[in-house]
Amino acid sequence: MGKARRKDRESSSVCSDEPKLYLEEAFLERKLPDIDLKVLVDLPAGLDYNEWLASHTIAFFDHINLVYGTISEFCTMSGCPDMTGPQLRTYLWFDEKGKKTRVAAPQYIDYVMTFTQKTITDESIFPTKYANEFPSSFESIVRKILRLLFHVMAHVYHCHFREVVLLNLHAHLNCLFAHLVLFDARFHLIDTHETEILNDLVVALKLLDNSSGVGVGSSGGASAGSASTNQQSAAGGTATADDSTTSSASQLQSGLIPDQTAGSLLTSSTAMSSAADHHNTPTHTPPQIASAH
């Protein structure tokens, strides 16, 4: 019985560009719709630039790790044998010898979270004590972290958005995506080659003034200050079991989500459990990461 249920979960995660469920009008809502996130990402007067980058980077890590934790049991070695994103994008791993290799999505994401957690808890990189300064390479480190976290979000949208919808977390995911896109648009931290694969979602959510959604990312910035390590909860909170069931039923009636996927999720008792503790202890020392296309 357990094996059959596992097979159902693995087969429910279909990575396909067509159709893109996350572009359906019914799923374009986001939490805090009336709040202007563009104002929230602007650097406050008198606040150090690196301090602002640090606090947002820590928040992005917390939130993305939390969201991924809710669907991680459906992201398996056999169900997601490659780390993929929209538009046939595949993310490759550089091993210790500098060789590009394909790794399964769960392994890739584990390395991403391990690297990020190790970095943001390193006092020499993300200082928290008085008089400690940010390193001169701080902005480039932040760029790398945000790029890798964007890979995780791209994979969730591409391969696991059905599970996110059935857990009634799509509004939270969209809000988190909007926050990351607008923060990047403000400070140009992620290269456009990375973000272009989700430009259609940027347009659908009407996040940027330009209708094409092109122009998110590149490079730039400044430096100095001391980092805040205040951990934040997932944006907008999480859905209750009752909310998830109700949402799933309505989506099934509309025919947007297969019965098999809904059945697997609605009978799962662990999809939402221990999400915040999904990745608390670093277990790897990951090498460099690259993306292929």
CA distance 186 to 262: 38
Alpha-carbon dihedral sign for residues 187, 192, 195, 196: positive
Cis peptide before 19 (omega within 30 of 0): yes
Contact 39, 211 (CB under 8 A): no
Residue 159, annotated ligand binder? Answer: no
Residue 80, annotated ligand binder? Answer: yes
Burial 89-101 (b: 16+ CB within 10 A, else e): bebbbeeeeeeee
Residue 4: CB atoms within 10 Å: 8
CA distance 76 to 140: 31
Residue 160, annotated ligand binder? Answer: yes
Residue 175, annotated ligand binder? Answer: no
Q: Which residues are annotated as a binding site?
A: 75, 80, 155, 160
Q: Which residues are annotated as a binding site for Zn(2+)?
A: 75, 80, 155, 160
